[in-house]
Amino acid sequence: MDGVGGACGQDATKMVMVLAATNFPWDIDEALKRRLEKRIYIPLPCKTGRVELLKINLKEVELSPDVNLEEIADLIVGYSGADITNVCRDAAMMSMRRKIEGLRPDQIKNMRKEELNLPTTMEDFRLAIKKVSKSVSNDDLKKYEEWMAEFGSI
Protein backbone atom coordinates (compact mmCIF):
# COMPACT_ATOMS: atom_id res chain seq x y z
CA MET A 1 0.00 0.00 0.00
CA ASP A 2 1.42 3.32 -1.03
CA GLY A 3 2.69 5.43 1.87
CA VAL A 4 2.86 2.68 4.49
CA GLY A 5 6.51 1.64 4.06
CA GLY A 6 8.00 5.15 3.96
CA ALA A 7 8.76 5.46 7.66
CA CYS A 8 10.21 1.96 7.89
CA GLY A 9 12.75 2.17 5.07
CA GLN A 10 13.62 -1.07 3.32
CA ASP A 11 13.57 -3.40 6.35
CA ALA A 12 11.42 -6.36 5.23
CA THR A 13 10.61 -7.27 8.85
CA LYS A 14 8.79 -3.96 9.25
CA MET A 15 6.51 -4.47 6.25
CA VAL A 16 2.81 -3.76 6.70
CA MET A 17 0.09 -5.49 4.74
CA VAL A 18 -3.45 -4.17 4.72
CA LEU A 19 -6.30 -6.55 3.95
CA ALA A 20 -9.80 -5.14 3.82
CA ALA A 21 -13.22 -6.38 2.79
CA THR A 22 -16.45 -4.60 2.04
CA ASN A 23 -19.88 -5.31 0.62
CA PHE A 24 -20.00 -1.74 -0.71
CA PRO A 25 -16.82 -1.05 -2.69
CA TRP A 26 -18.40 1.98 -4.38
CA ASP A 27 -18.43 3.70 -0.96
CA ILE A 28 -14.63 3.54 -0.57
CA ASP A 29 -13.02 6.95 -0.28
CA GLU A 30 -11.07 7.95 -3.43
CA ALA A 31 -7.82 8.51 -1.50
CA LEU A 32 -8.04 5.07 0.10
CA LYS A 33 -9.00 3.45 -3.19
CA ARG A 34 -5.83 4.85 -4.80
CA ARG A 35 -3.72 3.31 -2.02
CA LEU A 36 -5.30 -0.13 -2.27
CA GLU A 37 -3.16 -1.66 -4.99
CA LYS A 38 -5.25 -4.80 -5.52
CA ARG A 39 -9.02 -4.70 -5.67
CA ILE A 40 -10.45 -8.17 -6.09
CA TYR A 41 -14.08 -9.17 -6.46
CA ILE A 42 -15.00 -12.47 -4.83
CA PRO A 43 -18.09 -13.75 -6.66
CA LEU A 44 -20.85 -15.88 -5.21
CA PRO A 45 -19.77 -19.50 -4.76
CA CYS A 46 -19.97 -21.89 -7.71
CA LYS A 47 -21.48 -25.37 -7.23
CA THR A 48 -18.19 -26.83 -5.95
CA GLY A 49 -17.85 -23.92 -3.53
CA ARG A 50 -21.43 -24.33 -2.33
CA VAL A 51 -20.85 -28.04 -1.66
CA GLU A 52 -17.67 -27.21 0.30
CA LEU A 53 -19.49 -24.51 2.30
CA LEU A 54 -22.24 -27.03 3.09
CA LYS A 55 -19.62 -29.52 4.31
CA ILE A 56 -17.95 -26.88 6.49
CA ASN A 57 -21.25 -25.74 8.01
CA LEU A 58 -22.51 -29.27 8.58
CA LYS A 59 -19.36 -30.92 9.91
CA GLU A 60 -20.86 -31.32 13.39
CA VAL A 61 -24.44 -31.95 12.27
CA GLU A 62 -25.82 -35.48 12.06
CA LEU A 63 -27.31 -35.96 8.59
CA SER A 64 -29.93 -38.45 7.51
CA PRO A 65 -28.82 -40.86 4.75
CA ASP A 66 -31.23 -39.16 2.33
CA VAL A 67 -29.27 -35.86 2.44
CA ASN A 68 -27.59 -35.14 -0.88
CA LEU A 69 -25.23 -32.15 -0.70
CA GLU A 70 -24.92 -31.96 -4.50
CA GLU A 71 -28.69 -31.63 -4.80
CA ILE A 72 -28.81 -29.01 -2.06
CA ALA A 73 -26.05 -27.07 -3.85
CA ASP A 74 -28.23 -27.07 -6.98
CA LEU A 75 -31.13 -25.64 -4.96
CA ILE A 76 -29.09 -22.74 -3.54
CA VAL A 77 -27.65 -21.21 -6.71
CA GLY A 78 -27.14 -17.48 -6.08
CA TYR A 79 -26.80 -17.84 -2.31
CA SER A 80 -23.87 -16.15 -0.58
CA GLY A 81 -21.68 -17.87 2.00
CA ALA A 82 -23.68 -16.22 4.78
CA ASP A 83 -26.95 -17.33 3.17
CA ILE A 84 -25.66 -20.92 3.01
CA THR A 85 -24.71 -20.76 6.69
CA ASN A 86 -28.24 -19.60 7.51
CA VAL A 87 -29.80 -22.44 5.48
CA CYS A 88 -27.63 -25.00 7.29
CA ARG A 89 -28.42 -23.55 10.71
CA ASP A 90 -32.14 -23.46 10.00
CA ALA A 91 -32.20 -27.01 8.59
CA ALA A 92 -30.25 -28.34 11.57
CA MET A 93 -32.85 -26.90 13.96
CA MET A 94 -35.86 -28.36 12.10
CA SER A 95 -35.85 -31.78 13.80
CA MET A 96 -35.71 -30.19 17.25
CA ARG A 97 -38.52 -27.82 16.35
CA ARG A 98 -40.66 -30.76 15.22
CA LYS A 99 -39.91 -32.64 18.43
CA ILE A 100 -40.91 -29.76 20.75
CA GLU A 101 -43.88 -28.52 18.73
CA GLY A 102 -46.95 -28.30 20.90
CA LEU A 103 -45.09 -29.06 24.14
CA ARG A 104 -45.21 -26.88 27.24
CA PRO A 105 -41.96 -25.35 28.52
CA ASP A 106 -41.83 -27.76 31.48
CA GLN A 107 -42.18 -30.74 29.12
CA ILE A 108 -39.37 -29.41 26.94
CA LYS A 109 -37.18 -28.85 29.98
CA ASN A 110 -37.67 -32.47 31.08
CA MET A 111 -36.63 -33.91 27.71
CA ARG A 112 -33.31 -35.73 27.49
CA LYS A 113 -30.71 -34.27 25.14
CA GLU A 114 -30.73 -37.47 23.09
CA GLU A 115 -34.42 -36.96 22.31
CA LEU A 116 -33.61 -33.65 20.62
CA ASN A 117 -30.60 -34.84 18.61
CA LEU A 118 -32.29 -36.20 15.51
CA PRO A 119 -30.59 -36.31 12.12
CA THR A 120 -31.23 -33.48 9.68
CA THR A 121 -33.15 -34.68 6.61
CA MET A 122 -33.37 -33.59 3.00
CA GLU A 123 -36.87 -32.30 3.72
CA ASP A 124 -35.41 -30.11 6.50
CA PHE A 125 -33.14 -28.53 3.88
CA ARG A 126 -36.01 -27.99 1.45
CA LEU A 127 -38.02 -26.23 4.16
CA ALA A 128 -35.02 -24.15 5.25
CA ILE A 129 -34.38 -23.06 1.65
CA LYS A 130 -38.00 -21.90 1.40
CA LYS A 131 -37.52 -19.82 4.56
CA VAL A 132 -34.03 -18.42 3.84
CA SER A 133 -33.95 -16.47 0.61
CA LYS A 134 -30.79 -15.31 -1.12
CA SER A 135 -29.57 -11.89 -0.04
CA VAL A 136 -27.82 -10.80 -3.24
CA SER A 137 -30.02 -9.72 -6.14
CA ASN A 138 -29.14 -9.80 -9.83
CA ASP A 139 -29.02 -5.98 -9.73
CA ASP A 140 -26.46 -6.19 -6.90
CA LEU A 141 -24.33 -8.62 -8.90
CA LYS A 142 -24.43 -6.31 -11.91
CA LYS A 143 -23.36 -3.38 -9.75
CA TYR A 144 -20.36 -5.34 -8.36
CA GLU A 145 -19.32 -6.44 -11.84
CA GLU A 146 -19.54 -2.87 -13.17
CA TRP A 147 -17.43 -1.60 -10.27
CA MET A 148 -14.83 -4.29 -10.91
CA ALA A 149 -14.74 -3.48 -14.62
CA GLU A 150 -13.92 0.12 -13.76
CA PHE A 151 -11.74 -0.19 -10.63
CA GLY A 152 -10.79 -3.86 -10.20
CA SER A 153 -7.28 -5.26 -10.37
CA ILE A 154 -8.00 -8.66 -11.86
* Least trusted range by pLDDT, from 14-18, 35-39, 115-119, 135-139: 14-18
Q: Residues 24-38: pLDDT tens digits?
A: 888 989 898 888 888
* CA angle (146, 150, 152) in 5-degree steps: 95
Q: How confident is the model at residue 98 (pLDDT cuts 50, 70, 90)?
A: confident
Cβ(54)–Cβ(88) below 8 Å:
yes
- Greater confidence (55 vs 96) lies with 55
Cβ(57)–Cβ(88) below 8 Å:
yes
Q: Residues 41-78: pLDDT tens digits?
A: 889 999 999 999 999 999 999 999 999 999 999 999 99
pLDDT of residue 99: 85
Handedness of CA 40, 42, 46, 51 (dihedral sign): positive
> What pTM did the predictor assign?
0.79
Q: Is the pLDDT of residue 84 over 60?
A: yes
pLDDT of residue 143: 93
